[in-house]
Amino acid sequence: MIEKIRIKNYRGIKSLEINNLKKYNFFIGNNGSSKTTSLEAIFSAIPNDGNAIVIMANSRGMQVKLNNNNSFFYNSNISDDIEFTLNDDITTKISLKNINRLNNNLLNSNNYNEFIYNISVFEKNNKTLYESNFGIDPSNRIFPIEIKTNTEWNEYIEKYGRCFWISPLTKYQYGIAQITKEMIENKKKEYILKAIGFFEEDIDDIVSDGTEVLLSKKGVGKMLPISSFGGGLSSALDIITCLFYDGITSIFIDEAETGLHYTNFPKFCEVLIDISTNKNIQFFITTHSDEFLKDFYNILVKKRNEDITTYRFQKIDSDIKIVYYPYERAVRALKDGWDIR
């Protein structure tokens, strides 16, 4: 469980600490308030193969190149390292200053023309767990080189588990047909049908050949493509299927309401909560929708589940300020017609 994070010198954030994280975590606020940036920081702080910040840039529609890698840094100031400290447990540092430590022979032998960044992960006693330099080739492909790890690194990977990122730009890139096919092959069809049942009660079967998802509806003589049920079902299923991935412990959803009609918010929130209740999955979610947040809280209230926290992000001058809303305060605010933006 991720309980807190400290962020330094990352994009629009000079320094920020977020505490009291729970199973369900909502980050809300105006555009430009760094709520998505904070989600990206948590995602990048989870032990991974070092390319998480590149994945985050791609999710924004940005292709990382040698001439824009400074955009990862606060005010593009590369003299200060990016730092993510997770649970006072491990710290990830990203730097552009370690180019002299990189063996140029390795760059040349691997067809990397340029060094692009260095990433190091430390335990709280400053013992190095992981270190890698990343290079970029003429086609702007980025790959790790000179990877160094110690024996404890895999323990931290196992401890924090796998994470999954979903945003408006990535939502349909994973291939719902292929994912559904794999889930059916892994004997998880019943879980998909249960999730679909929240939206369409008459669906009694699902098949996929990896290129198209077909649904069987009671009283209809032939299988129907999922697209015939509207884009909302595809959008919801694209997220819901992630809940069944083996080893997933955290899911990040940027603008969760995207692609869903507001009338389906309660159903979508209910299926997320229902399926994840007995799973060790933590959620980090941004939304611009008052209705979505209210529906999510309403379902938790009915289930008497208080394992949720909300942070409101505000940009004041050049600083990012956050306001913490514990369960009771958020419930009262939503009842009073709170405008989350």
pTM, two decimals, is 0.90
pLDDT in tens, 107-162: 555 565 677 899 999 998 899 999 998 888 888 888 888 889 999 999 999 999 99
Tell me the range of 54-68, 78-92, 197-211 where mean pLDDT is highest: 78-92
Domains in the chain (CATH in brackets) are 1-46+161-341 (3.40.50.300), 48-160 (no CATH)
- pLDDT the model gives residue 98: 61
Q: What is the mean pLDDT of the chain?
A: 88
Cα–Cα separations (whole angstroms), residue 168 to 59, 239, 293, 332? 8, 11, 18, 30
